[in-house]
Structure 1
Amino acid sequence: MSVTREAVETVLRQYTDPHLNQDPVSAGCVRSIEVQGDRVSVQLELGYAAALFRSGWAQMLAMAIEHLDGVSRADVQVDCVVRPHKAQDQVPALSNVKNIIAVASGKGGVGKSTTAANLALALAREGARVGVLDADIYGPSQGIMFGIAEGTRPEIRDGKAFIPLEAHGVQVMSMAFLSDDKTPMVWRGPMVSGALLQLITQTAWNDLDYLVVDMPPGTGDIQLTLAQKVPVTGAVIVTTPQDLALLDAKKGVEMFRKVNIPVLGVVENMAIHICSSCGHAEHLFGEGGGEKLAAQYNVDLLASLPLSMAIRSQADAGKPTVIADPESQIAMIYQEVARTVGARIAQSGQIIAQSMPKIVISED
């Protein structure tokens, strides 16, 4: 019995990519199917970084194809190709950055910066080239989380651009690298907005697939500046189950929707606390809040993370969980978040999240 391309496609349609929520054929991931006698070769292309997932995915699909009558061997190759957001070419200074992800929260203290750091590191572990911009001008913390020594300064290229520092394979830029850690930024809104634009457009990012922007809490000047001046691909909203945090998180979702930036999903921190002594589990800040928020706005609940001393202590030590304990359950949750965020960006590739006017200068 001869094997046909249609038969191979039928098999592939029976398996759903957990990050795209589609089978490879429907998702447009199939690049080629070759049948030579009793041997089948399939090439798939994922539009998101998935180095820790693709080999297992390829093996699963190959085994399924080999169950077809007439197939003695199947080879499935899965490649990951991250494509640039369509609006990027409208900002020349960001031509080396394919996608910009804003990590935001309505209020402080919900673990936004920790989430941003672990998301960036998880994307890097998946094989992507990643940068982090610490846009929290008043309270920058990414330098500490990435273990960058106090007083470290970025080099300046040709007197025009900062060369980002690198830690754990991620390019990092923060206002903390340009000022004294003990000196507060006593600035008004316009000064802060100007500083943010300088940081993001005068940093020589080196061929990034993803730039993760750690936003300050709230919905003020900095958020609006980023949304209106920078081609943000999508936003991740961080909250806790607490009613007050959810109320502010809703404002964050609404803000991004008003400026036409897709919300890629919600991360719920401090969802449950498990006593280290007796193992008793308690929902200290409420229960199910992140799930309700995601359902209300029809977005993904990307993760529900516990209130964990390890997450806090590892970030404070300059090695967030994804690096400090990469095989832990919590690190695996961050990896799932990274792949899902990348998949959502790939799926919205046809959408220009930021409709920015093109500026044309003529001699008339």
Structure 2
Amino acid sequence: MTAVVRRIIHIDMDAFYASVEQRDNPALKGQPVAVGRCQERAVVAAASYEARKFGVRSAMPSVQAQRKCPHLIFVPPRFDVYRAVSAQIHAIFARYTPLIQPLSLDEAYLDVTHPLLPRPSATAIAEEIRAAILRETGLTASAGVSYNKFLAKLASDYRKPNGQFVIPPNRGEDFVASLPVNAFHGVGPATARRMHTLGIHTGADLRRFSLDILRQHFGKAAAFYYGIARGKDDRPVEPNRPRKSLGKEVTFEQDLRTPAELHAALRELASKVWAGCQKRNLTGRTITLKLRYTDFDQCTRSLSLADPVQDQEILAEMACRLLAPLLPVRAPVRLLGITLSALLNPQDQEAATQLSLLS
């Protein structure tokens, strides 16, 4: 019996936040726009393509962005508007398939192996979706079409902005071979550096390493790297993928130096993270502290508990416990973050408690 070849589309909106601002304010069209605030500690949330020509990128400090592009126009973010437009776009996706996996407000995977509307190909569906998005929202999107998620995402970057690219099954392995590993989705900067030290710079280089050798260097992630080097990725599109973590971080207007300042900031962060947990009826077992110094050196510390966090006070206490070995801080702190992961809903908690009692 012949295996069904999946048809996966990755849709990625073009400079989404900035494009919404340019759409809603015609005076911004054709101008270098940064969504964010022009303040000492602020960062760019998104940049228009006109701004990107000057080297402005998302997550870049606003001061640095303005140095690169002195006539950069800063626009405060309007996340309620972006969420509303994202809902419009997802309604368009739903005309073609129920198998939609959002990655963020501006991108998603779609499995159209068995589409709701009869169309000759995934390529035709992607073209229709992009045309509908333009017609109904006034915004452009890029699309990648392939037989798995990894290649579909690579393909969507290939003809940006407002483009579309297809990687068929007989081209997947060859397409990956010449690409640099730091362009691979799922290979972060730290992993790319480790690969470079092993002489792995391209997909072809990665393919030369056996699964056993990759496991020695990359552990559980080795199987994924081994597969993508050969154009293989068996991950399904997950429309109801459970949330893996909840977190909050803040960059301070004034650097924090004393334990008292840091503890107060952590308690405030814990209250915000716990409010998010209560809103979603979730808790978790693993607390992660993120700390960034003024020299931009960063460290993280994690702690996993036997029982889920029960309230805001416990979350704050565990975060302060993670901070303790770092005190006194070696340099002023510009950013703190708390993330709660290994998430559970109340039903999961109750089942885990009963199992523990039975054991």
Bucket of the pairwise TM-score, normalised by the shorter protein: under 0.3
TM-score of the aligned structures, taking structure 2 as reference length: 0.25
TM-score of the aligned structures, taking structure 1 as reference length: 0.24
